[in-house]
Chain A
Amino acid sequence: MNSKNSKARLLQGNEACMLGALYAGVEFFGGYPITPSTEIAEGMAREMPKRGGKFIQMEDEIASMASIIGASNAGCKSMTATSGPGFSLMQENLGYAYMTETPCVVINVQRGGPSTGLPTKVGQSDTMQARWGTHGDYTSITVAPSSVEGCFYETVRAFNLAERFLTPVIVLLDEVMAHMREMMVVPEEGEIEVFKRHRPDVPREWYRHFEITPSLVSPMASFGQGYRYNVSGLTHDQDGFPTAKPKEIVDKLNKLRRKIERYSDEIIKLRTEKMEDAHIAVFSYGIVARTAFQAVKMARERRIKVGAIQPLTIWPFPDEQLRDMLKNVRKVIVAELNMGQLVHEIRRVAPRHTEVIPLQRYDGNVMTPSEIFDKIREVVK
């Protein structure tokens, strides 16, 4: 017998997300059932009562998003999980969370769209919605794993980013990853960092809930803590009161953008495979990255100098990192399960000598390695 892997467990992607959230110390889950994310809510309904956490099934996704923002302002690490149609409904209050700098985590298990679309099939058509889904200007943080283990770690990371930068963080999954099972070792407590929200300890009179500090992220008080601040979705000053003063408006919007831009090096995470000498690159995220790695392996066996780039952080988009990685790349294939979303970002950042080649599939199935491999062979000529 091979070595028995006693610590490893066979877990589903959705389960790993749930365990990651619990590891990160989630205290409040508000959600609404939707395929293919439901296992996360079901797991939370089981686990939260045992751990002193709160679970609530709200009347819809609008309310789910609202409830987690309420809970977060009351001091709880909060999250919800949904899929395309529910993600659409959440956009209203997601905007509120960006505006009010309320930390929370939203897991979106992508399926085919638009509308009800393909509830049980895979897709990546919410890529741009995760960036620009709600109205107004803001900067989003969106992470996207590609394995069951990744579901765990990226969920923990999402909480850490949310609590650190006081903003919603979106975790983009897809139907295949959510339901596939893989082996993973759940880390022991303390093995990976869990960020605790910074709380103010200044006298009440000194506290400004939306203060623009030099670091752009400031301690956040909770309701009941004694600071009695105002939170509003209206554009507000540093005390949270609605403002119409041009300078205060601009300061607020700049803060929303800059607090993420400034720390983008810390936020951005990429994985590369065989890029050292690659003339051709395959750019893809999530489940498609797995296909791409397979295709790269196939192509390398035929001595084609191809590599793969997988962003684990999609937003903010890794502009600088990609410019550097694509320096020696003649052609970059952008493989997506949609009609072309990230391909436009690659076109924006790719050096002039790098040809951008889209490869898309949107029939509800995962792209196969041979599809990418065939494309590689086609463009290598």
Chain B
Amino acid sequence: MEKRVQDYLQERGEKVLNLAGDLKVQAEAFLLYNRELSIEVVGGEVETLKQAEEIGLGVRVIDKGRLGFAYTTDLSDAALKKTVERAVYIARYAETDEHNVLPAGEQVYINLPLYDENIEKESLENKIELAREIERGARHKDKRIKIVERAGYEDTSVVLVIMNTAGLKAAERANFCGGYIFLVAEEDGDAQHGFAAVSKRRFKDILPRDIGEEGAVRALRALKPGAIKTGNMPCVMEPYVVTRFLGIIAAAVSGDAVQKGKSMLKGRIGDKVAFAKLTLVDDGLYVEGMGAFPFDGEGVAARKNTIIANGVLRSFLYDTYTGLKAGLSSTGNGQRTSFRTLPGVGTTNFMISPGDKTPGELLEGIERGFYITEVMGMHTANPITGEFSVGAAGIMIEKGKLSYPVKGATIAGNIIDLLQKVDGIGNDIRFYGSRAAPSLRIKSLSVGGV
């Protein structure tokens, strides 16, 4: 099926480039086929089942340095012609910009195992059963799990073809699947939320019971929270919390944000911005991450970019346009969310490399500290200054051990300062979508409580 789709997309792409050639403009055809299935169960019943199938083309043309764009979901000859003409027509009114260039054709793509036939072959019934098993996993874990808001299974399959008039030809397919649960635990009038979400490249790697149990544990351990006293104290962040901070850091290392003066890291290349053992990479070739793909949204070969090496800021991320503007070249980070938009700078697999400490070892020697399991309002962090003040929940650390749960706290500081205050890195790296991180210990962080 996917092979047939790929041939079809390629044939349509050729057609687009021919049409553009007739009009004497440079052009790029971005063709995507995408299929998604999502199943949501409540109380063992399928409450919603959604299947989406989408096919579309985005055409980028460059006419004497002026950019034009149009898209279509109709791939008939007439629609292709109309779409190319629209893109060419609109380029007339755009500003000339010498950095508007299509990536050249000499790309070497690495073959990655990104496709699991079993995801397609598995029956709908089995997928529904998997979602039910996630729910059961949570309910059987503990009788205090009173409400399962929803449990679900999802899978996605894509075929992507990118071709341009500079001779570039890229085609690949990939799929992945995942399970999740949102639930509530109740005890003595107290109710706490819990969740778990896992995405995997292979169907057999989805372990539904584990997902259900993880969700249950997250809610159970938060029951009957106590208070934390305001003050500066050592903190340990779970991988999930670290990946939330990675979201803000990802925005700050975008070449586009740097060039527009919207980044806290502008002008800091070569500076020590983090703990000496901390390394941050963006790796489009790391197969276990959902951001892996042999090329980016412009067809530039994916690679591993080291952004922070042993605490020192080494590089920002670029697409073709911002790379040229910086006097460098694309780092393979021209990303697109759909065929409906132009490419822009984005991350692939954005990861903090694991360290050598077990999560238990990170707690050792902390007399009194805060183990952070959740942050709220992360979008309010300022990407330009790096300042943040967000809500936090977690567990008190006393004498090197986890003690009672804490809710309604706040943590505040500056992200770069936080990276510099890291003094321990866990070996427990975990992916949340396309971002991965281990647990981090922070020497001292301002915690607001009572």
Partners in one complex: no
Which residues of A come within 8 Å of B, CB atoms? Answer: none
Which residues of B come within 8 Å of A, CB atoms? Answer: none
